[in-house]
Amino acid sequence: MTAAEQRMGWGRSAAVAAMSLALLAAGVGLAAVAGPRLFEPDVAQPLLLVVLLLAYVFTQHYTLDFEFRRQSNSISLAHLPLALGVQVVAPFAHLAVRLGSVVVYSLYQRQAPQKALYNLGAAAFEVGAAALAVGIVPHGETGPSMWIALYAGLVVGDAVGILALHAIWRVLGLETSLQRGLRTLLLTAPVALLFTGLAVVAISAARLEAASVVVMLALTGWLALAYRAHRRVVLQQATTESLYTFVKDLGPLVVAEERSTDVLERVRVLLHAEQLDLTASSGDRWSALTVAEGQSPRRSVDV
């Protein structure tokens, strides 16, 4: 790498860090000017914060996966604790919990610093936007104006995060398009509406019985896990069927042939594997072919 290329790499990294920090600062600023929480449940605040932290970590780890127009999509469940927390937890306490959950999950996943910093910025802005939107509503208001404000805050947080990610990918020279970002927003907007509705129902029930929030969270988590299990079975069946259709008329495969690379890569994609190896013997020699995601095929021969 030349000195010019190295400086360019540092410049891009600095630009990405600056955009992520700008998101983080904006989120903190929005939380600072947001109003107080709308609802004060008969539950100790420390307990609420612990439950909210666990909910955030859980929803970051488990996603809803589905196909739309033959493309795989994953949607985070973090909107649910966000929609609930913004109503029952003070903005700065909520922000601290959200950022803490991102740090915990980033360390658990061993994420790259750039990705972790962006996730921190996006999470902060989501909390700040939702808190500010809900804070605009008069204190004690629980009707349609609060519902609309909450939904608007969630959508704005998503939109800004998506646009920021689009800009970051542009800076890094990665393939992206504004159309892709808009498609993502169109997919997340209905999910935000769903979780807004669940949060409204949960808070309305909590005004009558505080323990009902726990029931709502448990039910939502169970439904999400059930959907993931169902989705996993469907994907396994589809993968098995696609793999069978692909290999049934394949015929003999010789490792040394050029077509073996395409065949093995196709099988790797069908199996959702990061790497796939094929080894075959020919007399007293062993030939090996390896295909891996994002890498060129590798061939080797052992005598």
Distance CA 77, CA 61 (A): 9
Domain boundary among 208, 240, 272: 240
245 found inside a domain: no
Kindly tell me if the per-residue pLDDT of 2 is higher than 70: no
For 89-118, give one letter per residue: b (16+ CB within 10 A) or e. Answer: bbbebbbbbbbbbbeebbeeeeeeeeebbb
DSSP single-letter state for residue 77? S
Q: 223 and 273: one domain?
A: no
* pTM (predicted TM-score): 0.69
Ranking 70-79, 88-97, 157-166, 182-191 by mean pLDDT, the lowest is 70-79
Q: 213 and 268: one domain?
A: no
Between residues 200 and 104, the one the model is more confident about: 104
Report residue 198 as tokens: 């669940």
97 CB-side CA count, 13 A: 26
Kindly tell me if the per-residue pLDDT of 271 is higher than 90: no
262 found inside a domain: yes
Report residue 205 as tokens: 């029930």
Domain boundary among 214, 240, 266: 240
What would the pLDDT profile of 19-30 be if each residue is shown by its tens digit? 999 999 999 999
Between residues 226 and 296, the one the model is more confident about: 296
DSSP per-residue letters across 125-140? HHHHHHHHHHHHSPTT
Q: 101 and 193: one domain?
A: yes
pLDDT of 303 reads: 54
Domain boundary among 240, 263, 282: 240
Count of the separate structural domains present in the chain: 2
Are 62 and 224 in contact, with CB atoms under 8 Å apart? yes
pLDDT of 121 reads: 93
Q: 134 and 260: one domain?
A: no
Q: 161 and 297: one domain?
A: no
Average pLDDT, the chain: 79
92 found inside a domain: yes
What would the pLDDT profile of 144-186 be if each residue is shown by its tens digit? 888 899 999 999 998 898 888 888 888 877 777 777 777 777 8
Q: Which residues contact 253 (CB under 8 A, 6 or more apart)?
A: 259, 260, 263, 278
Are 102 and 116 in contact, with CB atoms under 8 Å apart? yes
pLDDT of 232 reads: 67
Q: 184 and 274: one domain?
A: no
DSSP single-letter state for residue 274? S
248 found inside a domain: no
What is residue 33's three-state secondary structure?
Answer: helix
pLDDT of 97 reads: 94
Q: 167 and 275: one domain?
A: no
As a whole number, mean pLDDT of residues 183-204 equals 80
- Domain residue limits at 283: 253-302
Q: Which residues contact 233 (CB under 8 A, 6 or more apart)?
A: none
Longest Cα–Cα distance in the chain: 82
What is residue 16's three-state secondary structure?
Answer: helix
Are 183 and 75 in contact, with CB atoms under 8 Å apart? no
CATH number at residue 30: 1.10.1760.20
Q: 209 and 130: one domain?
A: yes
199 found inside a domain: yes
246 found inside a domain: no
Q: 183 and 260: one domain?
A: no
What would the pLDDT profile of 198-248 be if each residue is shown by its tens digit? 787 777 776 766 666 666 667 666 666 665 665 666 666 666 777 677 667
Distance CA 67, CA 80 (A): 22
pLDDT of 201 reads: 79
What would the pLDDT profile of 110-156 be if each residue is shown by its tens digit? 888 888 999 999 999 999 999 999 888 877 677 788 889 999 999 99
The percent helix, strand, coil of the chain (3-state, each to 5) is: 70, 10, 20
pLDDT of 122 reads: 93
170 found inside a domain: yes
Kindly tell me if the per-residue pLDDT of 71 is higher than 60: no
Q: 116 and 219: one domain?
A: yes
Q: 265 and 208: one domain?
A: no
Q: 186 and 67: one domain?
A: yes
247 found inside a domain: no
Q: Where are the beta strands (DSSP E) in the chain?
A: 63-68, 71-76, 275-282, 285-292, 298-302
